[in-house]
């Protein structure tokens, strides 16, 4: 049965200003009863779908209302989750994004949805965007008015994908900024990186890139700045060796579909102007649509056992058992920063060692009961090849604490071969609720046991041992951003055996092949004079394959703390007097 979408009058939209809750809290997800008229039954109360025939003032009022609620600092750990979707057509609005907001175009091409306006993701106090996490925008064209500036002031967990921006875009808000991710996007104006400390741009067409501070990497970007590392901050690789762009939601006439781009090798520039990238699609009939109010591990596993894919609508899902993904080719997709929480010491998801599983757009939280890991890809290391049909993870954001109590030994364990991860942030919280060395405990962010695993854009921070532990052969990492933990109470607490500290990036002694480019590793040990022997630790034969490395001693740390070397005792130290070291 076709779902009717009613146009809301200006009076009804104005009414939302008084009915929609204005501050975060337990009731913040409850919308007024008339929202049921607005595609309530299809994607739930936290998804808004706009049509170009609507009054633009009405749309702007709703965007502003949600932004005003989700932008303030107190919304950083809000329970609210929202997706705003635009049908093909032209709109006169400004796109404002705060915490847990995702804006999506529903066209087959980004050019099918045209926004005459700007993108706005501004900083908090003094333009600081180092806490601007958990938001996303994709599959739109933005045409900026003359003299207007798009402000995409973000740090981690804020992907900008499949966008066509006709104008300039600023990646900061005239204050501190700490990292981000662009993929499959065309920017006709200037990208104003300013003081952005680190950034990864993959498969993009840009007219001009301006500045950026420490570790800025481009891959498959034809007009990237010149790479003169370490004299400048840029790492440039001309092509992306193997990637399939992230699946996306499309409204094809009156039918919703998930479009799945084709796997492509040795690419540069955007996928949506390139021939031969037709891919495939799935209708929503092939998906179980999940809602946070009614779904749990039992209902999700029942749907998976029937051969369904899963589409998570915005919200928080509490799972007391693992989701068991056993069917080859299963697609699991979340919108609106849908969040899965472990409540019983379980992983939220266990993926079997099968071909072509795709998981995208999910936030995963550790629970009060310690888990061994939060997501496992492959039950064990079997050696099975997935070269022709890889397992892919996109925009997976994992958290340990900050929102409340959380503990896990690790966040993500990859046992399977031939897995591609396209943008992830693994975060042991350094601020928020239940945050302390003995509270939100977690040893490692990422553990890779499989062979030929590739990660594009690995952000991994604050864990209590190795941030990243790589045990498989043939691994590749393109861009790495990592802060060591802020809070070891003593130097001894962050020491093992005779080795001072834990390297952030550890390639195990038995590994014979591994490559990485653009690694930025930073320390700020607030409580103790922590000593770290090396930021990167690898077998000696692999040192030459770890390219473009930087370590940085961040202001505010204990003045006697030190990273003694970049890699394996080589490359120089970083301390209060020599805060920055680079190595080719």
DSSP letter string over 290-339? E-TTT--HHHHHHHHHTT-EEEEPSSEEEESS-EEE-STT-EEEE-TT-E
**Do both 56 and 117 map to the same domain?**
yes
Which residues, at least 6 apart from 207, have a Cβ–Cβ distance to it below 8 Å? 187, 188, 189, 190, 223
**Do both 342 and 462 map to the same domain?**
yes
CA distance 5 to 8: 9
**Do both 213 and 143 map to the same domain?**
yes
CA distance 158 to 98: 10
Residue 385 phi, psi (nearest 5): -90, 140
pLDDT band at 300 (very low <50, low <70, confident <90, very high): very high
Q: Is the pLDDT of residue 381 over 60?
A: yes
pLDDT over 90 percentage in the chain: 88
> How confident is the model over 449-497, as pLDDT tens digits?
999 999 999 999 999 999 999 999 999 999 999 999 999 999 999 999 9
Q: Is the pLDDT of residue 199 over 80?
A: yes
Domain assignment present for residue 273? The answer is no
**Count: domains in the chain:** 2
Domain assignment present for residue 411? The answer is yes
Q: List residues with catalytic annotation.
A: 483
Give the distance, in angstroms, between the CA of residue 434 and the centroid of all CA atoms in the same chain. 23
Nearest to 581 by CA among 536, 538, 544: 536
What is Dmax (Cα atoms) for the chain? 70
Judge contact between 429 and 483, C-beta under 8 A. Answer: no
User: What range does the domain containing 85 cover?
Assistant: 10-18+44-234
Let me know how many helices (H) and strands (E) the chain has, helices first.
Answer: 4, 47
Domain assignment present for residue 291? The answer is yes
Domain assignment present for residue 570? The answer is no
The count of other CB atoms within 10 Å of the CB of residue 410 is 26
Tell me the CATH number at 401.
Answer: 2.160.20.10
Domain assignment present for residue 280? The answer is no
Q: Domain boundary residue among 216, 234, 252?
A: 234
pLDDT over 70 percentage in the chain: 93
Which residues, at least 6 apart from 195, have a Cβ–Cβ distance to it below 8 Å? 172, 176, 177, 211, 212, 213
Which strand (E) or helix (H) includes residue 388? none
The pTM assigned to this predicted structure is 0.93
**Do both 224 and 298 map to the same domain?**
no
**Do both 225 and 311 map to the same domain?**
no
State mean pLDDT over 230-238.
97
Q: Domain boundary residue among 425, 451, 479?
A: 479
Judge contact between 45 and 315, C-beta under 8 A. Answer: no
**Do both 212 and 73 map to the same domain?**
yes
């Amino acid at each position: 049965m076709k779902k009717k979408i009613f146009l809301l009058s200006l009076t009804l939209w104005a009414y939302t200003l008084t009915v929609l809750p204005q501050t975060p809290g337990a009731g913040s997800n409850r919308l007024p009863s008339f929202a049921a008229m607005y595609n309530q039954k299809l994607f739930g109360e936290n998804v808004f779908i706009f049509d170009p025939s609507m009054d633009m003032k009405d749309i702007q009022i709703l965007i502003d209302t949600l932004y005003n609620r989700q932008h303030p600092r107190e919304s950083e750990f809000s329970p609210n989750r929202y997706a705003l979707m635009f049908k093909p057509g032209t709109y006169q609005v400004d796109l404002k994004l705060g915490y847990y907001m995702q804006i999506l175009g529903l066209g087959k091409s980004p050019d099918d949805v045209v926004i005459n306006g700007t993108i706005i993701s501004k900083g908090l106090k003094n333009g600081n965007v180092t806490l601007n996490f958990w938001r996303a925008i994709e599959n739109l064209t933005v045409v900026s008015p003359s003299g207007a500036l798009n402000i995409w002031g973000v740090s981690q967990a804020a992907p900008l994908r499949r966008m066509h921006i006709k104008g300039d875009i600023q990646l900061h808000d005239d204050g501190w900024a700490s990292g981000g991710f662009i993929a499959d996007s065309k920017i006709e104006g200037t990208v104003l990186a300013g003081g952005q400390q680190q950034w990864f741009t993959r498969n993009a067409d840009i007219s001009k890139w301006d500045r950026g501070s420490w570790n800025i990497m481009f891959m498959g970007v034809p007009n990237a700045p010149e790479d003169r590392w370490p004299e400048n901050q840029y790492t440039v690789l001309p092509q992306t060796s193997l990637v399939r762009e992230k699946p996306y939601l499309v409204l094809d006439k009156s039918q919703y579909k998930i479009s799945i781009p084709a796997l492509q090798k040795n690419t540069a520039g955007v996928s949506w102007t390139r021939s031969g990238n037709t891919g495939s699609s799935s209708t929503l009939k092939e998906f179980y649509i999940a809602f946070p109010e009614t779904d749990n591990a039992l209902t999700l596993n029942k749907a998976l056992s029937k051969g369904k894919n899963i589409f998570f609508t915005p919200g928080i899902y509490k799972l007391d058992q693992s989701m068991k993904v056993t069917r080859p080719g299963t697609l699991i997709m979340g919108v609106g920063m849908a969040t899965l929480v472990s409540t019983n010491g379980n992983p939220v998801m266990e993926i079997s060692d099968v071909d072509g599983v795709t998981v995208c757009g999910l936030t995963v939280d550790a629970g009060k009961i310690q888990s061994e890991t939060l997501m496992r890809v492959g039950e064990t290391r079997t050696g099975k090849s997935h070269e022709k049909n890889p397992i892919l993870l996109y925009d997976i954001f994992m958290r340990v604490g900050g929102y409340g109590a959380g503990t896990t030994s690790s966040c993500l364990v990859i046992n399977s071969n031939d897995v591609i991860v396209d943008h992830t942030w693994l975060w042991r919280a350094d601020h928020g609720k239940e945050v302390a060395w003995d509270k939100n405990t977690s040893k490692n962010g990422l553990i890779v046991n499989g062979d030929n695993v590739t990660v594009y854009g690995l952000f991994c921070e604050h864990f209590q041992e190795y941030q990243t532990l790589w045990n498989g052969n043939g691994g590749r990492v393109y861009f790495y951003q990592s802060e060591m933990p802020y809070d070891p109470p003593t130097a001894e607490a962050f020491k093992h055996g005779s080795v001072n500290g834990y390297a952030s990036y550890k390639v195990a002694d038995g590994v014979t092949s591994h490559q990485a480019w653009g690694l930025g590793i930073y320390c700020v040990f607030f409580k103790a004079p922590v000593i770290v022997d090396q930021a990167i630790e690898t077998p000696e034969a692999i040192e030459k394959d770890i390219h473009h490395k930087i370590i940085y001693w961040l202001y505010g740390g204990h003045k006697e703390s030190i990273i003694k070397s970049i890699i394996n005792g080589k490359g120089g130290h970083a301390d209060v007097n020599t805060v920055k070291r680079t190595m080719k």
